[in-house]
């Protein structure tokens, strides 16, 4: 093989959390919490130490305005397909059920779409067919979603009744301003499956406007190494040819030479002329049950490139923005409500929780089903925790307990201090997460470092 040279190194790029949030939300809607935790425990958000910060990590995943490094996001996406297969879930079906349904196929919220898309609103209303305009909007939105990345329409043509648009994804410089003609190559993309995590999502995007998806997606360049794409089978290179299990599957060439055969030029962006492997025929992966190497696609490229073939002059429906407006003006639709409930259930599962029950008949308290304490100390704790769970009150007066006849039978000789000390010592010995203290004379304070569920039972 020819030597692979890319002079520029990739600078750090941070992506808004929208992609990770939708991935996490899709998992919430159709997977068991144990499987979800298994995946994210293996690929935790940077900066979070597990298991101590596991709940905080999921809370962060739920925040779309957070940001994560491109390398981390790509690592997570790259690990997703094998993980889904271990759960008997096909990734293409998962993409359709999650990324197409959540936010109506948009990577960002409907409110962000309307806010970011203001420069395009006039064109959207005046255009008969909005699908060509959607490709232009992707250029603009990518710059906001991931400053330092650019998606550029590098070729668009009309053949008979069909439009054919080709888009390039690259790491660009300078970042943070939408001036595509001034953006230049700033290093190779981290390897990822461009078909699934870029091309397919864009193909489904017209759904957000009640329009048919782009009819055909085809791959031109992919950043993955052949060895990472072919999970099973022996990969070899001989005489500038790609062999899989001794069968011919492609040829080595240079990126610019390959693109010239497609009448595509990207030299103006400073993309280097690196070596690529062009697939000579499709390679079907029996494990994934899909084509993973596409005939005519160049692999190990420093940029991603994909095309869309779609019918011309597809008239948009009168209510093409209705779904987006409904999403933007509704606090939460049924799908997001279901996902939020699953998210909160997951947080509850992770949180260390104490189920405290006061048993009225024998004046005792159990914690998580285990007997803890009885008599006056149990009654004191009953009053403290019952009030705390109902009102949030954590500061109490001695006299509140002395005057409570259900706790103290003899207010003249209450012995509250002795009984309170027994309770404090018992908590320190068995449940240090619950603290009852005497901050000053005549005062009692309560603090809990765990979630509490409190109830009372007659038995």
Question: Do 105 and 57 belong together in one domain?
Answer: yes
Question: Do 107 and 199 belong together in one domain?
Answer: yes
Instruction: Please name the residues in contact with 231: beta carbons below 8 A apart, sequence gap of 6 or more.
Output: 285, 287, 288
- From 323, 344, 365, give the residue that closes a domain: 344
Question: Do 54 and 144 belong together in one domain?
Answer: yes
pLDDT at 3: 42
Q: What 3-state DSSP class applies to 32? A: coil
Query: Is the Cβ–Cβ distance between 416 and 408 less than 8 Å?
Result: yes
Question: Do 124 and 80 belong together in one domain?
Answer: yes
* C-alpha–C-alpha distance, residues 128 and 214, integer Å: 16
Nearest to 433 by CA among 397, 385, 362: 385
Q: Two tokens at 420? A: 């309170």
Q: How far is CA 270 from CA 61, 190, 216, in A?
A: 35, 18, 29
Q: How far is CA 400 from CA 272, 356, 455, in A?
A: 78, 22, 21
* C-alpha–C-alpha distance, residues 205 and 105, integer Å: 5
Question: Do 56 and 200 belong together in one domain?
Answer: yes
CB atoms within 10 A of CB 423: 21
Question: Do 279 and 360 belong together in one domain?
Answer: no
- From 296, 314, 344, give the residue that closes a domain: 344
Cis bond before residue 198 (omega within 30° of 0): no
213 sits in which H/E element: none
Nearest to 323 by CA among 206, 191, 430: 206
For residue 3, being part of any structural domain is answered with no
Query: What is the domain extent for residue 214?
Result: 14-344
pLDDT at 178: 47
Question: Do 187 and 216 belong together in one domain?
Answer: yes
Question: Do 266 and 368 belong together in one domain?
Answer: no
- From 314, 344, 374, give the residue that closes a domain: 344
Instruction: Please name the residues in contact with 11: beta carbons below 8 A apart, sequence gap of 6 or more.
Output: 148, 171, 173, 186, 187
Q: Can you give the pTM of this predicted structure?
A: 0.74
What angle is formed at CA 13 by the lines to CA 11 and CA 14, rounded to 5 degrees? 155
For residue 396, being part of any structural domain is answered with yes
Question: Do 197 and 240 belong together in one domain?
Answer: yes
Question: Do 447 and 378 belong together in one domain?
Answer: yes
**Distance separating the N- and C-terminal Cα atoms of the chain:** 79
| Four-residue CA torsion sign, 54, 56, 57, 58 | positive
Q: What are phi and psi of 393, to 5 degrees?
A: -65, 130
- Quickly tell me which residue has 């491109």 as its tokens: 70
pLDDT at 136: 93
Q: What are phi and psi of 390, to 5 degrees?
A: -80, -40
For residue 165, being part of any structural domain is answered with yes
For residue 7, being part of any structural domain is answered with no
Q: Two tokens at 113? A: 């779409």
Question: Do 256 and 175 belong together in one domain?
Answer: yes
- Strands, E assignment, 322-390: 353-359, 364-367, 370-374
Nearest to 374 by CA among 392, 361, 387: 361
For residue 349, being part of any structural domain is answered with no
CATH number of the domain to which 396 belongs: 1.10.10.10
Q: Two tokens at 105? A: 């196929």
* C-alpha–C-alpha distance, residues 19 and 69, integer Å: 12
Per-residue pLDDT of the chain (459 residues; tens, 9 = 90+): 444 445 454 567 888 888 999 999 999 999 999 899 999 999 999 998 887 788 889 999 998 778 899 999 999 999 999 999 999 999 999 998 888 788 788 888 888 899 999 999 999 999 999 999 999 999 899 988 888 888 999 999 999 999 999 999 998 865 444 455 556 888 888 899 999 999 999 999 999 999 999 999 999 999 999 999 999 889 999 999 999 999 999 999 999 999 999 999 998 889 999 999 999 999 999 999 999 999 999 999 999 999 999 999 999 999 999 989 988 888 778 888 999 999 988 988 887 778 899 999 999 999 988 899 999 999 999 999 999 999 999 999 988 888 888 887 666 666 888 999 999 999 999 888 899 999 999 899 999 878 888 999 987
Q: What are phi and psi of 274, to 5 degrees?
A: -85, 165
* Alpha carbon 29 to its chain's center: 13
Q: Two tokens at 103? A: 């936010």
Nearest to 137 by CA among 61, 208, 233, 190: 208
Instruction: Please name the residues in contact with 124: beta carbons below 8 A apart, sequence gap of 6 or more.
Output: 117, 130, 133, 320, 321
For residue 8, being part of any structural domain is answered with no
- Quickly tell me which residue has 């019952």 as its tokens: 386
**β-bridge partners, 358:** 365, 456
pLDDT at 177: 46
How many domains is the chain built from? 2
* C-alpha–C-alpha distance, residues 278 and 297, integer Å: 6
**β-bridge partners, 310:** 163
* C-alpha–C-alpha distance, residues 12 and 46, integer Å: 14
pLDDT at 138: 93
pLDDT at 176: 46
pLDDT at 182: 59
* C-alpha–C-alpha distance, residues 72 and 77, integer Å: 9
Question: Do 340 and 218 belong together in one domain?
Answer: yes
34 sits in which H/E element: helix 33-42
């Amino acid at each position: 093989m020819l030597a692979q040279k890319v002079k520029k190194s990739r600078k750090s790029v941070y992506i808004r959390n929208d992609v990770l949030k939708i991935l996490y939300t899709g998992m919430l809607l159709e997977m068991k919490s144990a499987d979800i935790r298994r995946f994210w425990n293996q690929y935790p958000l940077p900066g979070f130490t597990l298991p101590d910060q596991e709940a905080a990590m999921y809370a962060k995943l739920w925040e779309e305005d957070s940001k994560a490094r491109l390398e981390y996001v790509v690592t997570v996406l790259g690990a997703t397909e094998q993980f889904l297969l271990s759960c008997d879930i096909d990734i293409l079906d998962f993409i359709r059920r999650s990324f197409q349904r959540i936010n109506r196929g948009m990577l960002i919220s409907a409110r962000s779409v309307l806010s970011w898309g203001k420069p395009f609103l006039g064109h959207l209303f005046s255009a008969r067919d909005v699908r060509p305009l959607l490709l232009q909007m992707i250029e603009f939105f990518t710059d906001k979603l991931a400053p330092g990345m650019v998606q550029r329409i590098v070729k668009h043509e009309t053949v008979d009744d069909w439009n054919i648009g080709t888009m390039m994804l690259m790491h660009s410089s300078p970042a943070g301003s939408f001036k595509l003609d001034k953006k230049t190559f700033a290093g190779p993309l981290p390897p990822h499956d461009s078909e699934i995590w870029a091309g397919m999502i864009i193909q489904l995007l017209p759904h957000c406007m009640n329009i048919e998806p782009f009819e055909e997606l085809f791959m031109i360049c992919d950043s993955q190494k052949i060895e990472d794409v072919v999970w099973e089978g022996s990969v070899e290179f001989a005489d500038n040819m790609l062999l899989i299990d001794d069968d011919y599957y492609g040829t080595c060439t240079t990126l610019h030479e390959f693109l010239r055969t497609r009448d595509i030029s990207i030299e103006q962006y400073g993309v280097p002329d690196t070596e690529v492997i062009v697939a000579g025929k499709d390679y079907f992966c029996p494990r994934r049950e899909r084509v993973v190497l596409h005939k005519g696609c160049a692999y190990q490229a420093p940029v991603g490139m994909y095309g869309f073939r779609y019918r011309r002059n597809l008239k948009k429906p009168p209510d093409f923005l209705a779904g987006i407006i409904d999403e933007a003006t509704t606090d939460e639709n049924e799908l997001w409500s279901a996902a939020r409930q699953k998210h909160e259930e997951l947080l509850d599962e992770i949180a260390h929780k104490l189920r405290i029950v006061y048993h009225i008949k024998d004046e005792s308290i159990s914690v998580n089903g285990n007997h803890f304490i009885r008599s006056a100390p149990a009654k004191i704790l009953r009053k403290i925790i019952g009030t705390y769970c109902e009102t949030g009150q954590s500061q109490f007066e001695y006299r509140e307990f002395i005057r409570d006849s259900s706790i103290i039978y003899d207010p003249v000789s209450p012995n509250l201090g002795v009984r309170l000390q027994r309770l404090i010592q018992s908590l320190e010995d068995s449940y240090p997460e619950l603290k009852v203290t005497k901050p000053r004379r005549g005062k009692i304070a309560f603090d809990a470092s765990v979630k509490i569920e409190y109830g009372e039972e007659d038995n």
